[in-house]
Structure 1
Amino acid sequence: MKNIRNILNSRFKGNGNFFMQLTKILGFKPKTLKFYNTAFTHRSMNIKDGKGNAVNYERLEFLGDAMLSSVIASHLYLEVPSGDEGYLTKMRSKIVSREHLNELGRELHLIDLVESKIPPGHFGDNIHGNLFEALVGAIFLDKGYKYCEKFIYKRVITPYVDIQKLEGKVISYKSLLIEWCQKEKKTFTYNVYEDTGNDDVRHFSVKLSISDKVIAKARATSKKKAEEKASKRAFFAFQNRMSKMI
């Protein structure tokens, strides 16, 4: 146990700014630092506690996700008394979308605080949102629900939650397109193939066909991104009809 504490506290010896950076992000002084150390410890550090359990941000990420959903659900319930369950669920999903959480993590520069054996450039995009969720989980364990709720209002709800704007926001163009095709009884296919070209990084191209007609093409660094980009282009091709699904 002592060794784990030494490893987790090592950042304070090598980076005396951690506490100050953390306090600035939180808006209050943390009480129990071990929770925040864990929130910024990547699994590549391969740290385990005395019982052999992994010590990294992933469990806090799970807890933070639940806290975000709870606070935002409560806000929407009170803010939109006319919204039914389906409406409230969709609105909450837009607020806690992976894209939005990644933006929040980037704005706070949370990746700068991570302890990892992997170079920052090798992380996937989702690490920004994962760290944000882990930080929320750490706040809950350290200071309780009220502080957690206050942080979520300060960093998420107050600056970003505009009900009218959210109603028109699309989380996933691919999901929207699939839902529309199913409703309209149209067939669709994503023909994805590797397309490296002259790029150093591997790329993928996709042709999106609806009812056997190619509607959109796109190219990106992953299959998922290429499909989403093509779906977005298809959305604008059928915008008047698909907008009713938002």
Structure 2
Amino acid sequence: MKKIFKNIFTKKDSRSPEDGIFFDALKAILGFDPVSLEPYRRAFTHRSSNKHDDKGNPVNYERLEFLGDAMLSSVIAAHLFNEVPSGDEGYLTKMRSKIVSREHLNELGRDLNLIGFIDSKIAPVHFGENVHGNIFEALVGAIYLDQGYPYCEIFIQKRVIEPYVDIPRLEGKVISYKSLLIEWCQKEKLAFHYDVFEDNGIDGQRLYGVRLSIGGKVVSKARATSKKKAEEKASQRAYFAFQEKINKK
């Protein structure tokens, strides 16, 4: 233990002022002292930076996303297993999916303002909408490389489970209205169809218009910046129109 603390303070004392600022900002987010800054620098490096290590391998956060995703799934799975002893495999899998959904991970990344740390050659306005969640996963991966699994558990407990995991609320949360609608239509043997009725650009932004038909009748329409988003929005509107029937036991 003494050796670990010696390494921490030795490294911190020899860092540049910029490193010191980064160290302090990280500590505020993590809740503990990082031992090495290198994994965290990688976690905030966008592929547009076009950086490579001495072996020619790309240096960016994408590989850390994979690692962080695995750590998140593991810690959340263990938490649900212990907290819901009556939950079967299907229930536990569905609840874990709600907690680590892309929407929720993006929310976590935004709340911590992780995008402010990104090293990139392109402006943040041009990042994809999932960049917040991607960086959050990469940060968890960096924690694993820096401190190991126990510290991943500490961070996820503090930043994900304690503030966001409310089991009764999550049970009623809908991740995908489209999946819910399709499942209901299949159960009720109702034909459904999504079709694009509009594909154009307004003020330089491309828009897609999608209509959803159920049983041969158009039940909802929606517009969004991607076909997938428009389908989800149309599905959400259809869900509220058929909510009583869908939720009927």
Please give the TM-score of this superposition, normalised by the length of structure 2. 0.89
Instruction: Indicate the residue corresponding to 1:36 in structure 2.
Output: 40
SS in 2 for 1:50: coil
Instruction: Indicate the residue corresponding to 2:235 in structure 1.
Output: 231
Instruction: Indicate the residue corresponding to 1:120 in structure 2.
Output: 124
Q: Paired residue for 1:86, among 84, 87, 90? A: 90
The answer to whether the aligner puts 1:171 opposite 2:175 as a matched pair is yes
Instruction: Indicate the residue corresponding to 1:76 in structure 2.
Output: 80
SS in 2 for 1:170: coil
Tell me the distance in 1 between the aligned counterparts of 2:174 and 2:248.
12
SS in 1 for 2:223: strand
Instruction: Indicate the residue corresponding to 2:158 in structure 1.
Output: 154
Percent of aligned pairs with the same amino acid: 71
Residue type of the alignment partner of 2:35: K
The answer to whether the aligner puts 1:206 opposite 2:222 as a matched pair is no
- Segments of 5+ residues of structure 2 without an aligned counterpart are 1-15
**Are the counterparts in 2 of residues 71 and 152 from structure 1 also a CA contact under 8 Å?**
yes
Q: Paired residue for 1:182, among 183, 186, 200? A: 186
How is 1:123-138 mapped onto 2 (pairs within 5 angstroms)? 123-138=127-142
- Segments of 5+ residues of structure 1 without an aligned counterpart are 1-11
Tell me the distance in 2 between the aligned counterparts of 1:199 and 1:43.
29
Tell me the distance in 1 between the aligned counterparts of 2:62 and 2:202.
37
CA RMSD of aligned residues (A): 1.6
Per the TM alignment, residue 187 of structure 1 is displaced from its structure 2 partner at its CA by: 1.2
Instruction: Indicate the residue corresponding to 2:70 in structure 1.
Output: 66
Between Structure 1 and Structure 2, the one with more strand by share is: 2
**Are the counterparts in 2 of residues 194 and 202 from structure 1 also a CA contact under 8 Å?**
no
Instruction: Indicate the residue corresponding to 1:6 in structure 2.
Output: none
Instruction: Indicate the residue corresponding to 2:13 in structure 1.
Output: none
Tell me the distance in 2 between the aligned counterparts of 1:214 and 1:154.
46
Q: Paired residue for 2:56, among 52, 55, 73? A: 52
Aligned residues: 234
Q: Paired residue for 1:101, among 82, 102, 105? A: 105
Instruction: Indicate the residue corresponding to 1:9 in structure 2.
Output: none
CA, structure 1 residues 193+199, in 2 after alignment: closer, same or farther (shift >3 Å)? Answer: farther
SS in 2 for 1:218: strand
Tell me the distance in 2 between the aligned counterparts of 1:243 and 1:21.
46
Please give the TM-score of this superposition, normalised by the length of structure 1. 0.91
SS in 2 for 1:77: helix
Instruction: Indicate the residue corresponding to 2:9 in structure 1.
Output: none
Residue type of the alignment partner of 2:179: S
Per the TM alignment, residue 32 of structure 1 is displaced from its structure 2 partner at its CA by: 0.9
Per the TM alignment, residue 147 of structure 1 is displaced from its structure 2 partner at its CA by: 0.9
Per the TM alignment, residue 16 of structure 1 is displaced from its structure 2 partner at its CA by: 5.9
SS in 2 for 1:192: strand
Residue type of the alignment partner of 1:38: R
Residue type of the alignment partner of 2:30: L
Residues 165-206 of structure 1 show CA distances to partners (whole Å, capped at 9, x for unaligned) of: 000000000111111111111111111144446433111111
